[in-house]
Amino acid sequence: MPTYKYEVRNSSGQLTNGMLAASNAMDAAATLRGQGLKVIQLVPVSNSSTSALEKLKALNQGSGPSQKDILNFTSQLAVMVRAGISLRAALEGIAEQTENLKFRRIILDIKQDVEGGKQFSEALEKHPKQFGPLYVNMVRASEMSGSFSSMLDRICGYLAQQIETRAMVVGAMIYPGVIASLAVAVTVFLLTFVLPKFANVFAGKEAAMPWPTRFLMGLSEFMVNYWWAVAGGALVVAGGLILFIGTTAGSKWFDSMKLAVPIFKKMFRALYISRSLHTMGELVNAGVPMLDTIKITGDISGNTHYKSMWRGVYGSVKEGKKIVTNLYKSALLPKSVVQMIGAGEESGKLGEVLDEVSAHYSRQLKETIKTVTSMIEPIMIIMMGSIVGFIAMAIILPIFKLSTMVK
């Protein structure tokens, strides 16, 4: 059971310190308040039995925090604030138990800014890589409405769903990548290690060999003699493609491919719609101004075409028009979705409508990922079988032909 170091004030105003064992910070704070004490500070005490290996691992963690680290930070902060612990003490307590050194420095920097009189949202805004516009604006809205702990819970829910969605999409993309890499490896092995062993058998009999054999034997000889050129060319092509995708034109082309490739386009379409509407719904329900909501939605959408669509919406809303005015002109959102957004805008229940639509597309995304994965498996098996079968046929056919000629 964790141990917490506390600082409390009794009914007469006297400050006292001590140690308390509790299952979590909320239980510890509840125990102290049950004794008629006002909690001033509550900090978990690090376990002295931590192994040297774990401490060394913590010291080596200099990389920035992941999305899961941000989620854990937000979840802990929500629990501690709800327990009645001051924001300054909560930040100090979380920093004490954060193993990632870079993230610990960020939390302590935020704590220092809060102690200096800054709003929590202002302190977060200094670290845009860790706390994006959505996070900062939702916190800022909660500071104005006085719903800080509940807003942190909403942010936790949003982050958890985004992490889950990202994991599903990455998992769906990794599978075909692994199968394709295996197919390339098998092909290279056959061309560079298996086919050269038949070179002496077929030497001087090129005229009797069918064209598949001649083609593969030539390709095999080239790869064996100029493997460095093949490897260098592959690296240049891969590096050039990565650099191209990093450009504005390349990014736009790559995003277009995601929405055009038959097997994947439905999955990516559901991903972008779900992410955009979920983000917009959270911001609307948090009370963030509409123009800021639309701008953040576009930035988080994850696709240049959807970002361009939301920029158009931003411009039309800035001119005093409705959200759906510009959405009707785009083919990126189904007309039924645009109609529901328009109905929500008219009725004043836009946040509820966006939550329902984004939840529908989240379910559709999960179903689509399962479908894509099940379709990819037989396609990749057929491709691998075709490649291996072609190479086997190119080796076996001339052997049969030569044996017939000998008879």
- Residue 48 scores a pLDDT above 60: no
The CB density around residue 258, as the number of other CB atoms within 10 Å, is: 17
Q: How far is CA 36 from CA 48, 66, 82, 96, in A?
A: 31, 40, 18, 27
In this structure, the answer to whether residues 238 and 385 fall within a common structural domain is yes
Assign 201 to helix, strand or coil.
helix
CA 151/CA 70 separation, integer angstroms = 15
Instruction: State the DSSP string of 47-73.
Output: PTT--HHHHHHHHT--SPP-HHHHHHH
Among residues 131, 154, 186, the one where a domain terminates is 131
The count of domains in the chain is: 2
In this structure, the answer to whether residues 73 and 119 fall within a common structural domain is yes
Share of the chain above pLDDT 90, in %: 13
- Residue 54 scores a pLDDT above 50: no
Among residues 83, 110, 131, the one where a domain terminates is 131
Among residues 86, 109, 131, the one where a domain terminates is 131
Q: How far is CA 105 from CA 7, 62, 112, 125, 279, in A?
A: 23, 10, 10, 15, 28
Q: Which domain holds residue 320?
A: 168-407
Q: Within a domain: residue 100?
A: yes
In this structure, the answer to whether residues 107 and 180 fall within a common structural domain is no
* Token reading at 306: 């959807």
- Residue 236 scores a pLDDT above 90: yes
Contacts of 137 (CB under 8 A, 6+ apart): 121, 283, 286, 288, 292, 293, 296
Section 366-391 average pLDDT = 82
Q: Within a domain: residue 225?
A: yes
In this structure, the answer to whether residues 57 and 177 fall within a common structural domain is no
CA 303/CA 129 separation, integer angstroms = 19
Least confident of 94-98, 138-142, 256-260, 399-403: 399-403
In this structure, the answer to whether residues 94 and 177 fall within a common structural domain is no
In this structure, the answer to whether residues 220 and 301 fall within a common structural domain is yes
Q: What is the pLDDT of residue 222?
A: 87
